[in-house]
């Protein structure tokens, strides 16, 4: 691989934001002409039925000519959300100190219904004998 190609793919500056099952990577890279651009990558961890896991990644390339309007749009959307809903996180599963009940079925956060009826353990428990298995 040529030295020029290595420089083209080199990360100039990086920052990582971990947010639950998602990780965001902010990377400054260089164009062929030597100018800089930003890549924003969302990496989300998924667990397979067999316990193994894989990641799905989505990437945005942001060039300097779009910085100003991109920033304006992001700020406008953030300001709108805060004005409409405040800064408090409404969904308990998105709060940093939220602990999922160990007796609850293990569903992905996106698959969990917003409102669910708690299961009463005494009603759902069944006595089993080893002979039943």
pTM above 0.85, yes or no: no
Is residue 69 in a domain? yes
Q: Which helix (H) or strand (E) holds 77?
A: helix 64-85
Taking CA atoms, 36 is separated from 10, 11, 13, 40, 61, in Å, by 11, 10, 10, 13, 11
Q: Which CATH number fits the domain that encloses residue 22?
A: 3.10.450.700
- Per residue in 60-114, pLDDT (tens digit) is 999 999 999 999 999 999 999 999 999 988 876 655 665 655 544 544 444 444 4
**Tell me, what's the pLDDT at 126?**
42
- Per residue in 16-34, pLDDT (tens digit) is 999 988 999 999 999 999 9
Q: Looking at the 3D structure of the chain, how many domains does it have?
A: 1
Q: Which residues on adjacent β-strands are paired with residue 88?
A: none
Is residue 124 in a domain? no
Q: Which domain holds residue 52?
A: 3-97
Is residue 30 in a domain? yes
Is residue 128 in a domain? no
């Amino acid at each position: 691989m040529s030295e020029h190609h290595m420089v083209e793919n080199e990360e100039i500056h990086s920052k990582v934001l971990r947010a639950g099952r998602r990780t965001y990577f902010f990377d400054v890279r260089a164009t062929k002409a030597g100018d800089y651009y930003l890549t924003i990558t969302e990496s989300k961890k998924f667990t397979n039925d067999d316990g193994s896991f894989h990641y799905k990644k989505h990437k945005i390339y942001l060039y300097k000519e779009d910085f100003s309007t991109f920033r304006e749009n992001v700020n406008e959307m953030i300001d709108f959300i805060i004005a409409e809903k405040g800064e408090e996180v409404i969904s308990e599963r998105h709060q940093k100190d939220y602990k999922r009940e160990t007796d609850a079925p293990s569903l992905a956060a996106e698959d969990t219904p917003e409102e669910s009826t708690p299961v009463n353990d005494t009603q759902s428990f069944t006595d089993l004998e080893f002979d039943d298995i």
